[in-house]
Amino acid sequence: MIDKIMTDTVITNKGIPSKRDTKVVALGDAQFTFAVYIANQPKMPEYESLSCIQPLQVEQIGLIGKACGNGWRKVFNVYAKLLYALDATHFNFSTLVPTWQQYRDQFLLQAHSGTALIFSPPHLAFTSISSQSAFSELHHKASNSTDTKTHTNTDNNTHNNIHSNIHNKTLHIICGRTYAKKLINDGLLTVDLSWLNEEFAINFEHAVIVCPYFDYRQLSNQKIQRLSFLLSALVTGSDEGVIDTTEFE
């Protein structure tokens, strides 16, 4: 296994850093277990000045879309489509309502949803994966892994969210290779990433995935299926089929 660097940031059982006033700036559930990190924020005064985790209310997604344009509509739509496409064996999002549109409007980024759209850099608690050997083997298989150190802090008491069956793991998705590279270059993302291709990277130990930006063209329906497969792999701790991308191309 690669070396670990311990940090001074403590992650609470709600997933929020609690030491040295480190804050998570996000839209969504304060007790999130499904985190999506994005480089930009909605250009509305109430969100540009955000300094905490703020759950959305019914109809706020629609209001943001109207005020900020089609790009933000796509972000929310792709987020909802992804959650709805996840394997129901591991995630319960698709069981709540008949369509992804209804999930977006009734649950996405609201209190108790377990979901968050995060504008601040990732703060990764140590995530206990059922198969650490999967991470180790994958690290050696991938030919183009990013040579960085692991940034971690131990907390095995992450909460159980009622809307997803992810076995105490907080899953972290970083939108876009460009954003991930910037975080790495700025020293804000220091986990070891195994790059599967030009668009997807994974870290089993900390349950991190880098994927294309949440846009219809960049994260197409086919790539949503690929991302769904990788998220299930994080939950099970198995790397079987993770390297082979031909099924999704």
What is the phi/psi pair of residue 198, to 5°?
A: -70, -15
H helices present in 69-168, as ranges:
70-85, 100-106, 132-141
More confident residue, 36 or 249: 36
* Residues 188-205, mean pLDDT to the nearest whole number: 95
The predicted structure's pLDDT at residue 169: 79
Copy the structure tokens of residue 26.
């996000």
* Residues 81-109, mean pLDDT to the nearest whole number: 96
* Buried b / exposed e along 103-112 (16+ C-beta atoms within 10 A): bbbebbbbee
Copy the structure tokens of residue 70.
């089609």
**Would you say residue 50 has pLDDT above 70?**
yes
The rounded mean pLDDT for the chain is: 79
The residue among 42, 41, 81, 83 whose CA lies nearest residue 62 is 42
Contact 30, 110 (CB under 8 A): no
Distance in angstroms (rounded) separating the CA atoms of residues 95 and 103: 10
**Residue ranges of E strands in the chain:** 4-6, 26-28, 34-37, 53-54, 115-118, 150-152, 171-175, 194-195, 201-203, 208-211
More confident residue, 117 or 124: 117
CB atoms within 10 A of CB 181: 15
* Residues 41-65, mean pLDDT to the nearest whole number: 94
The residue among 128, 223, 133, 105 whose CA lies nearest residue 173 is 223
Confidence of residue 64 (pLDDT cuts 50, 70, 90): very high
* Residues 153-179, mean pLDDT to the nearest whole number: 61
Q: Say which DSSP state 9 is in.
A: P
